[in-house]
Structure 1
Amino acid sequence: MWSHGTVEVNFDAAYRKNEESSCSGILLRDSRGRVIASKITFHENIPSPFTAKAVTCAMALKMYLDLNIKSLEVEGDSLTVIKKQAEMRLIDLKSRYILKI
């Protein structure tokens, strides 16, 4: 597993080009692998697979912030999205609740 006290978030998105829609799946687990939160959401008006991943990553990070978790390990299959979300978080942590998800 991962470090004691650390929560791991896994996320993924499925994208339908013809419908410009996506589905997000998010799972947060504690250091013993027990599920502490999960969410599946359908999204409309999603123009690209990258947008689908970005929306899902933002939702995962919002769940982390809402649960007031101190230490997080993020796992997703889009390194670019994860890096961009991390950069945004470092720029202005106070604006985290202003982000429209």
Structure 2
Amino acid sequence: MAENEGVRETPNPFNTNKNHRGQKDISRITIQFNVAFDIRNFKSATSLVVWGLTDELLVLKSTFHNNVSSPFVAEAFACLEGKKLGISMGIQSIKIMKDSRTIIKKCQTSSTDKSEIGVIIKDIQNKKVYFQEIIFQHIHRSGNSQAHRFVKNTLDR
């Protein structure tokens, strides 16, 4: 699988502060992702939009995948890319959001998935150990518009 990546980053504003109980607060970022799939060429583009604690835009990243068999597989690859980005940023707590209920539900469970994306889901689940906290959450399509516009422009290029 060939990948091309484009990343734009802003300074990392994360500091751990003490709360009134003396425990450290965990900085949580939100990663929204979206996918565009080219059925004629079996290619997909993934866009990742990373938001900070105060909803500031931190990172825009796009990834291309070749030889992708279906949009369903492309969605699973996108979720995996989101986790990899969180790991590479050294984040302890992430919330991954997508407007695909199926992918989010499969990522939330710890049971073995026997669908065509089972191996990708297992890889996503195995990467949970890199985080103190990870949340998979469904987001309405209108709330994921930034990632949608970004991926559409990426695949068009």
Aligned equivalent of 1:28: 50
- The 2-side partners of 1:90 and 1:59 are apart by 13
Q: Equivalent residues in 2 for 1:1-101 (5 A)?
A: 5-86=27-108, 87=110, 88=122, 89-90=124-125, 93=128
TM-score, scaled to structure 2: 0.51
Distance of aligned partners of 1:56 and 1:18 in 2 relative to their CA distance in 1, 3 Å threshold: same
- The 2-side partners of 1:92 and 1:69 are apart by 13
Alignment check: 8 A CA contact 1:20 1:46 kept = yes
Q: Name structure 2 gaps, 5 residues minimum.
A: 1-25, 111-121, 131-157
Distance of aligned partners of 1:92 and 1:20 in 2 relative to their CA distance in 1, 3 Å threshold: closer
Q: Larger C-alpha radius of gyration, 1 or 2?
A: 2
- Percent of paired sites with the same residue: 25
> Secondary structure of the residue that 1:65 maps to in structure 2?
helix
Equivalenced residue count is 92
- The 2-side partners of 1:72 and 1:79 are apart by 18
TM-score, scaled to structure 1: 0.76
Q: Which consecutive segments of 4 or more residues in structure 1 shift more than 3 A?
A: 85-95
CA RMSD of aligned residues (A): 2.3
